[in-house]
Amino acid sequence: MPSSKQEEPSLEFHPLTANRWCDLASLFEHHGNPGYCWCMTWRLSSGQYKQLDSTGRQKALEALVKTGTPTGILAYFDGQPVGWCSIAPRETYTRLEASTTLKRIDDLPTWSVVCFFVNRSVRGQGLSVKLLQAATAYAISRGARIIEGYPVAPHESYRFMGSPSTFKKVGFQVAATAGNGRQIMRFVVSDNEHRDRKRGRASKSKALPKNNFSEGTRRP
Task: Convert the pLDDT of each residue in 195-211 to its tens digit.
Answer: 666 565 555 555 565 55
**pLDDT at position 1, please?**
46
- Domain span at 138: 11-198
**Residue 215, pLDDT score:** 46
What is the pLDDT at residue 92? 97
Q: What is the pLDDT of residue 30?
A: 72
Cross-strand partners of 176: 184
Strands 72-77 and 11-15: antiparallel
pLDDT digits (tens, 9 = 90+) for 64-117: 999 999 999 999 999 999 999 999 999 999 999 999 999 999 999 999 999 999
Neighbouring-strand partners of residue 14: 74
At residue 179, what are phi and psi to the nearest 5 degrees? -60, -30
Per-residue pLDDT at 29: 85
pLDDT in tens, 129-188: 999 999 999 999 999 999 999 999 876 656 789 999 999 999 999 999 998 888 999 999
| Secondary structure E strands in 44-95 | 72-77, 80-89
| pLDDT confidence of residue 217 | 41
C-alpha 108 chain-centroid distance = 20
Please, are residues 188 and 176 in contact by the beta-carbon 8 Å criterion? no
Number of domains in the chain: 1
CB-CB contact of 89 with 109 (8 Å) = yes
Amino acid at 126: G
Please indicate, yes or no, if residue 214 is contained in any of the structural domains.
no
Residue 6 counted as domain residue: no
Q: In which band, very low, low, confident or very high, does the pLDDT at 124 lie, cut at 50, 70 and 90?
A: confident
Examine residue 137 and state whether it is found in any structural domain, yes or no. Answer: yes
**What CATH number does residue 110 fall under?**
3.40.630.30
Query: How much is the pTM?
Result: 0.86
78 is a domain residue? yes
Cross-strand bridge partners of residue 107: none
Amino acid at 208: L
Is 5 domain-assigned? no
In a domain, 187, yes or no: yes
DSSP string spanning 98-155? Answer: H-SSS--SSSS--EEEEEEEE-GGGTTSSHHHHHHHHHHHHHHHTT-SEEEE----TT
Asked, for residue 32, whether it belongs to a domain, the answer is: yes
> Is residue 220 included in any domain, yes or no?
no
